[in-house]
Amino acid sequence: MEDLSQKRFTDTLAPDAVSAELLPIVKDLGVLNNCRELASQGWTVVEAVAAPEFTTALRAAILKLSSRGGANMLLAKDKVFAEAVLQPKLLALAEFSVGRGFLLSQVAASVREKNAPCIGLHADHNWLPAPFPEHNMLLTACWACDEYSEAGGATLIVPGSGAERRHPSQQECEDLVGAIAVECPAGSVVVWDGNVWHSNYPRIIDGQRVVCHITYSRLMMRPVENYALAKSELISAHGARMAQLLGDDDFLDSPNGADYSKLTRTFNNAKR
């Protein structure tokens, strides 16, 4: 792997390129095609990210902690959430989509009952003005703890919408032209970039649709959730990759001021 501590990169990796360091990892994990789908269509489905028993445990933890249809700030509330965000396939896709040194932005959950309302069509680049940048800023990974089907309230995607690089208009939110349901088995993770217009279908069958929502972002983006109070404990429990996700691996936003010993590495990560 390249030494990022001394050499300063001046070039930037293209949005659809897999870095030389990441390529063998995505091949070994079997997610190279998922990277290609993210680059070409803005979304992909990764099946069997973990053992079925893990999805069962994740679902149980969500139901235990949820009220009024969901929960947030979940990372430090049960170790199963830290294990979810650290799944190698998700980390590889996040590095491909939002760059080396990426951050964890949010760990939330939703529990949709029969007749639960739709969330409304939107792009996750809600924090950005249009036109959206060429490089993706946010990657959302929705861990389906139950089967995804249209009748069951699956995620709704508008194919091709990411190429617009803007927010949907009010009329587009109402018409949902070209929308499709993302259907997949429980244990799958549906992943999309910040450009893609999406919502959900209303659940019209009995039971619940339980989902863990994980968002990763580029290292210069402000995370949705702030885990400062639990940061030391989380890093101690989960190691270097958790430190990266919580911003401890770069020189930005340090409580003691910028850590310039990490400056070159941070600049290099931002270009990859």
Q: What is the mean pLDDT of residues 242-260?
A: 88
Model confidence at 1: pLDDT above 70: no
Residue 82: inside a domain, yes or no?
Answer: yes
- Helix or strand holding residue 41 (H, E): helix 32-41
Q: Look at residue 2 in the predicted model and tell me its pLDDT.
A: 55
Whether 180 and 226 have beta carbons less than 8 Å apart is answered as: no
Backbone angles phi, psi at 254, to 5 degrees: -80, 140
Residue 17: inside a domain, yes or no?
Answer: no
Q: Look at residue 142 in the predicted model and tell me its pLDDT.
A: 98
Residue 7: inside a domain, yes or no?
Answer: no
Residue 14: inside a domain, yes or no?
Answer: no
What pLDDT, in 10s, does the model give residues 185-203? 999 999 999 999 999 999 9
What pLDDT, in 10s, does the model give residues 127-183? 999 999 999 999 999 999 999 999 999 999 999 999 999 999 999 999 999 999 999
Residue 126: inside a domain, yes or no?
Answer: yes
Q: What's 197's domain CATH number? A: 2.60.120.620
Residue 18: inside a domain, yes or no?
Answer: no
Q: Look at residue 4 in the predicted model and tell me its pLDDT.
A: 59
The whole-angstrom separation of Cα 192 and Cα 202 is 20
What pLDDT, in 10s, does the model give residues 140-155? 999 999 999 999 999 9
Q: Look at residue 63 in the predicted model and tell me its pLDDT.
A: 98
Domain span at residue 240 reads: 23-270
Helices and strands, counts by H and E, the chain:
9, 9
Model confidence at 113: pLDDT above 70: yes
Q: Look at residue 5 in the predicted model and tell me its pLDDT.
A: 58
Residue 11: inside a domain, yes or no?
Answer: no
Question: Which structure tokens are listed for 50?
Answer: 């973990």
CB-based burial, 185-206: b 16+ in 10 Å, e otherwise: ebbbbbbbbbbbbbbbbbbeee
Q: How many domains does the chain have?
A: 1
Residue 12: inside a domain, yes or no?
Answer: no
Cα angle 93-94-98, degrees, rounded to a multiple of 5: 125
